Chains A and B, each alone.
Chain A
Amino acid sequence: MNTVHRMDNEVLGMNGEGNQYLTFMLAGEEYGVDILRVQEIKGWDQVTPIPNTPAYIKGVINLRGTIVPIFDLRERFRLEAIAYGPTTVVIVLKIKGEKGERTMGIVVDAVSEVYNINEDALKAAPDFGQAISTDFVKGLATIDEKMIIVLDIDHLLNSSIVAEAGRLVRD
């Protein structure tokens, strides 16, 4: 019963049950974020770097009058950095934190799909070892034999802000 239901969701792509997730590509893997948190998707544009911040914080942009920080997710996950290409996009997300909602952007290789994923179809992530702490993963979902890593973006980005990597002396 459960499987049938889930297949329905997959086929229809949208149903009252389950949450919709926007997925994006990062170094060949597909990651998902809750679509209700996505404010907009925009192309990569010049940013103003913020001094003394970790390299994965690319800088800030002007999003219709508000200053929005942009994070490079590849660098955040310590994946190999690549040159930004035509499919490189910035996903602007609404992040919930202690001080209320903030707007932040993540740079990813490309956006992929929108899927419906049932809460109970999310499997707990095994310990990955190094790159991505399991803290940041809400769960794993399987769709069409593909694995989708559903991220806990609140935790990921809030902790990314706090991370003090700014070494004052570098030379």
Chain B
Amino acid sequence: MSIDVSQFLDTFYEESFEGLDIMESELLELDVGAADQDSINTIFRAAHSIKGGSGTFGLNAVASFTHVLETLLDEMRDGKRNVTQPAVDLMLTSVDVLREMLNALKTGQDIDAEHAAEVQQQLERLLKGGEEPDNDVSGVDHTSLSDHPEVMVGSGWHIRFKPLSHLFKTGNDPVRLFEELSDLGTIQVKVNDSGLPSFADIDPEDCFLSWEIEYIGDADEAQIRDVFAWVDDDCELELTIIGGEQKATTVETVAVAPVAAPASKTTAPAAPAPVAKAAAVAAAQPKEAPPIAPPKTEEKSAVARKAAPPSTESGSIRVGIDKVDALINMVGELVITQSMLNQLGEDFTMDKVQRLQEGLAELEHHTRELQENVMRIRMLPISFAFNRFPRLVHDLSQKMGKNVELKLSGENTELDKTVMEKIGDPLVHLVRNALDHGIEKPEVRASLGKPAVATLHLNAYHQGGNIVIEISDDGAGLNTEKIKNKAIEKGLINAGDELSAEKVNELIFYPGFSTADQISDVSGRGVGMDVVKKNIKDLSGAIEVLSIPGKGSRFTIRLPLTLAILDGQLVRLGDQTYIVPLVSIIESLQIRKENVKSIASDSELYRLRDEYVPILRLHKVFNTKCDNKELINGLLVVVEGDGQLAGIFVDDLLGQQQVVIKSLESNFKRVDGLSGATILGDGTVALILDIPGLVKLSKERIKKRAAASAAA
């Protein structure tokens, strides 16, 4: 029986990243000195599953790294080690290292082994007893095991554990047993690899090893037998009592299982020689045995990944079972209604019209409910996006020497997964800005009579069909004067312009307003406020800022709940229907002759109150037929795209409706001027206009024509 483990790789990565997130957030909440046992346990468990998983998949670098981390955590868990700030910081760094490693593995890149080794050494040094993770690399000393707390006295048990060869097939892992045993006291494990056949004869799914365990502690025979209760039938177990005066050195459990082979060089010196040997054998073994060959699988999937570049669009989501249950219920209802209608249709007479209508109404009701619930599947709580901020704020405020308390609220507000992924970076930028520019240094705050600890508040809530995210701080607020001066300098406004405070604040969203050093931000975000605004607009959202000098500022982001549905205005051009996103429409009007002006021959402008709006003849841009070529009395849909107004000339305005966005790209390709397609009530396809793209297309068209006529 061979199992292709690579199919579980994605799940492993996903779970590992989740685990890392958990570790990070728990580490941040850890009270130095008086650590909460539950938190440490949670962190330990997360680390442990990453270690186990990475071992299974043959990601030995990750496994060995996590092992050291886990050992450290284990000591904290057992109360043998105090939780100190340097230790927590080092563990946070380790989380970063692990995340980088996993990311690299996932995308098929090389791991930054040097960095990892460096952090691992620091961890080891801390483990050796040095409480401070200093940067002295030279003092690596594997022999100093004496630092381990010694168990002075105690009676204990000598346990001989010889599992039958099919142990793994029953889903049992000796590692877990030993770990459970180590919870009861301290253990020393020796592996007996004499039963190991030659490489050629090894079946990686069979167990050839047996173990001798010296257990020191006060558990009685029944308790120990309890630990092995699950494998009772699959092993030989012998227990002998050890005399009271024996001393035993504590050695961390180094368990070796042929399939999960996380043991590594770093742990080997701490383990008795036979274990180390077995570890080496076990680690090497999968390479020889074809059925489960992690290195090979890894390679293969790396190749596969190169062929299909990693796309953020795909991937999986975890859905609450309640949501799935609701769906199943709803589909059940739908089936019932459908069979009811079927029955009705079999011998339909006119006197049953009433029932038919009722049935159809029910069908509509169920369909809509089903649609809403299916949409909900894509919804995730915004805590997924918020979770990274405690760490970010923790790190940045430390770096900047500011004292900041981060408050999160509304973390359970749900939001479409795609929207969530795209809002992350803008949020990070806003938070960084608030920390960097908004919040003052503690001494400044003190002189202003503000509390020394500044507050940064992230809040999310639903409002209508939107989700609102607020980022507020009690810092200095925007410096209106400075912004104004800069805007004048950049030529965005005139020196004499009278602008309200809000107008001035909005200037920060102008492209080119951000200073050069912001744009070259190395951390890969590289976004200025204009990019933040653009990202949000791409999601059909809006951002506004409210700032009171000296009191703080608040950025409010409004986003649609989902990108899959859009409010559209249906317009007709010739025999085709197009959809204009309602958010981009400023107004629709009937063209009045006297307001049409033309520049040169091809550019037509429409005077809309005090503005001139270029007229975009859709039929020309699209090279399609239309009924009405005369502008007079035609209809103009004034839209805003890319910060520019344009009037789209169409034949007719039809209704407004919500449309489900379908991708043109999935089976075809991106088409300029179109953002997708949808299916209308009659089953035909209507195309959705991409307003910024259309404006661009129209400009190009005019330019080309100008070039062509110049050439002629």
Nearest-neighbour CB distance to chain A for B89, whole angstroms, equals: 43
Query: Could you say which of A65, A98, A100 contacts B679, with CB atoms under 8 Å apart?
Result: A65
User: With a CB–CB cut-off of 8 A, which chain B residues contact A162?
Assistant: 669
Q: Is A60 touching B576 in the complex (CB atoms < 8 A)?
A: no
A53 to B620, CA, bound (A): 14
Residue of A nearest to B660 (CB): A65
Q: Is A67 touching B622 in the complex (CB atoms < 8 A)?
A: no
A65 to B308, CA, bound (A): 26
User: Known: A60-B677, A168-B700, A169-B701. Contact between A49 and B624, CB under 8 A?
Assistant: yes
Q: Is A48 touching B662 in the complex (CB atoms < 8 A)?
A: no
Whether a CB of chain A sits under 8 angstroms from the CB of B684 is: yes
Which residues of A122-157 are within 8 A (CB) of B? none
A99 to B686, CA, bound (A): 24
A64 to B677, CA, bound (A): 14
User: With a CB–CB cut-off of 8 A, which chain A residues contact B679?
Assistant: 62, 65, 67
Nearest-neighbour CB distance to chain B for A169, whole angstroms, equals: 6
Whether a CB of chain A sits under 8 angstroms from the CB of B687 is: yes
A115 to B624, CA, bound (A): 42
A161 to B700, CA, bound (A): 22
Q: Is B669 touching A161 in the complex (CB atoms < 8 A)?
A: yes
What are 17 pairs between A and B in contact, CB < 8 Å? A49-B576, A50-B664, A51-B621, A51-B674, A51-B687, A52-B672, A53-B671, A60-B668, A60-B685, A69-B668, A100-B308, A103-B667, A104-B667, A104-B668, A162-B669, A168-B701, A169-B704
Name which of A62, A69, A100 has the most chain B CB atoms within 10 A of its CB. A62
User: With a CB–CB cut-off of 8 A, which chain A residues contact B308?
Assistant: 98-100
A102 to B669, CA, bound (A): 10
Q: Is A68 touching B667 in the complex (CB atoms < 8 A)?
A: yes
Whether a CB of chain B sits under 8 angstroms from the CB of A171 is: yes
Nearest-neighbour CB distance to chain A for B176, whole angstroms, equals: 40
Residue of A nearest to B620 (CB): A171
Which residues of B305-356 are within 8 A (CB) of A? 308
Q: Is A102 touching B704 in the complex (CB atoms < 8 A)?
A: no
Q: Is B666 touching A48 in the complex (CB atoms < 8 A)?
A: no
Q: Is B704 touching A67 in the complex (CB atoms < 8 A)?
A: no
Nearest-neighbour CB distance to chain B for A60, whole angstroms, equals: 5
User: With a CB–CB cut-off of 8 A, which chain B residues contact A99?
Assistant: 308
Name which of B621, B677, B685 has the most chain A CB atoms within 10 A of its CB. B685
Query: Could you say which of A50, A167, A168 contacts B671, with CB atoms under 8 Å apart?
Result: A50
Q: Is B664 touching A48 in the complex (CB atoms < 8 A)?
A: no
Q: Count of chain B residues with Cβ under 8 Å from any Cβ of A?
A: 31
A52 to B694, CA, bound (A): 12
Give the secondary structure class of B's interface: mixed
Whether a CB of chain B sits under 8 angstroms from the CB of A3 is: no
Nearest-neighbour CB distance to chain A for B270, whole angstroms, equals: 48
- How many inter-chain contacts with C-beta < 8 Å in the A-B complex? 82
Residue of A nearest to B622 (CB): A51
User: Known: A67-B677, A67-B685. Contact between A51 and B700, CB under 8 A?
Assistant: no
User: Known: A62-B683, A168-B701. Contact between A52 and B623, CB under 8 A?
Assistant: yes
Top 8 A-B pairs, shortest CB-CB distance: A51-B622, A48-B685, A69-B668, A102-B667, A67-B677, A62-B679, A168-B701, A67-B662
A45 to B623, CA, bound (A): 22
Query: Could you say which of B622, B671, B673, B705 contacts A169, with CB atoms under 8 Å apart?
Result: B705
User: With a CB–CB cut-off of 8 A, which chain A residues contact B666?
Assistant: 66-67, 102
A101 to B229, CA, bound (A): 50
- Contact mask B554-582 → A, CB, 8 Å, 1/0? 00000000000000000000001000000
Which residues of A88-104 are within 8 A (CB) of B? 98-100, 102-104
- Contact mask B656-667 → A, CB, 8 Å, 1/0? 000000111011
Residue of B nearest to A47 (CB): B685
Q: Is A62 touching B667 in the complex (CB atoms < 8 A)?
A: no
Q: Report which A residues bind B (CB closer than 8 A).
A: 46-53, 59-62, 65-69, 98-100, 102-104, 161-162, 166-171
Residue of A nearest to B623 (CB): A170
Which residues of B640-695 are within 8 A (CB) of A? 662-664, 666-669, 671-674, 677, 679, 683-687
User: With a CB–CB cut-off of 8 A, which chain A residues contact B152?
Assistant: none
**Can you name 13 extra interface pairs (CB under 8 A) apart from A50-B668, A50-B687, A51-B674?**
A48-B576, A48-B686, A49-B576, A50-B664, A50-B674, A51-B624, A52-B622, A62-B679, A66-B662, A67-B663, A68-B667, A102-B667, A161-B668
Nearest-neighbour CB distance to chain B for A110, whole angstroms, equals: 24
Whether a CB of chain A sits under 8 angstroms from the CB of B711 is: no
User: With a CB–CB cut-off of 8 A, which chain A residues contact B705?
Assistant: 169
Nearest-neighbour CB distance to chain A for B82, whole angstroms, equals: 53
Nearest-neighbour CB distance to chain A for B310, whole angstroms, equals: 13
User: With a CB–CB cut-off of 8 A, which chain B residues contact A161?
Assistant: 668-669
User: With a CB–CB cut-off of 8 A, which chain A residues contact B697?
Assistant: 168
Whether a CB of chain A sits under 8 angstroms from the CB of B708 is: yes
A33 to B132, CA, bound (A): 70
User: With a CB–CB cut-off of 8 A, which chain B residues contact A49?
Assistant: 576, 624
User: With a CB–CB cut-off of 8 A, which chain A residues contact B668?
Assistant: 50, 60, 67, 69, 102, 104, 161
Nearest-neighbour CB distance to chain A for B374, whole angstroms, equals: 12
User: With a CB–CB cut-off of 8 A, which chain B residues contact A53?
Assistant: 671
Residue of A nearest to B698 (CB): A168
Nearest-neighbour CB distance to chain B for A54, whole angstroms, equals: 12
A98 to B308, CA, bound (A): 7
A68 to B704, CA, bound (A): 31
Residue of A nearest to B624 (CB): A51
Nearest-neighbour CB distance to chain B for A105, whole angstroms, equals: 9
Nearest-neighbour CB distance to chain B for A161, whole angstroms, equals: 5
Nearest-neighbour CB distance to chain B for A96, whole angstroms, equals: 12
Q: Is B667 touching A67 in the complex (CB atoms < 8 A)?
A: yes
User: With a CB–CB cut-off of 8 A, which chain B residues contact A61?
Assistant: 685
Q: Is A66 touching B667 in the complex (CB atoms < 8 A)?
A: yes
A47 to B671, CA, bound (A): 16
Nearest-neighbour CB distance to chain A for B663, whole angstroms, equals: 7
Name which of A52, A69, A103 has the most chain B CB atoms within 10 A of its CB. A52
Q: Is B664 touching A67 in the complex (CB atoms < 8 A)?
A: yes
Name which of A52, A59, A67, A98 has the most chain B CB atoms within 10 A of its CB. A67
A167 to B662, CA, bound (A): 26
A59 to B687, CA, bound (A): 11
User: With a CB–CB cut-off of 8 A, which chain A residues contact B667?
Assistant: 66-69, 102-104
Nearest-neighbour CB distance to chain A for B306, whole angstroms, equals: 12
Nearest-neighbour CB distance to chain B for A66, whole angstroms, equals: 7
User: With a CB–CB cut-off of 8 A, which chain B residues contact A47?
Assistant: 685
Query: Could you say which of B663, B671, B684 contacts A51, with CB atoms under 8 Å apart?
Result: B671
Name which of B620, B668, B701 has the most chain A CB atoms within 10 A of its CB. B668
Q: Is B685 touching A169 in the complex (CB atoms < 8 A)?
A: no
Nearest-neighbour CB distance to chain A for B619, whole angstroms, equals: 9
User: With a CB–CB cut-off of 8 A, which chain B residues contact A48?
Assistant: 576, 677, 684-687
- Contact mask B585-627 → A, CB, 8 Å, 1/0? 0000000000000000000000000000000000011111000
A49 to B671, CA, bound (A): 12
User: With a CB–CB cut-off of 8 A, which chain B residues contact A68?
Assistant: 667
Residue of B nearest to A171 (CB): B620
User: With a CB–CB cut-off of 8 A, which chain A residues contact B622?
Assistant: 51-52
User: With a CB–CB cut-off of 8 A, which chain A residues contact B662?
Assistant: 65-67
A59 to B624, CA, bound (A): 13
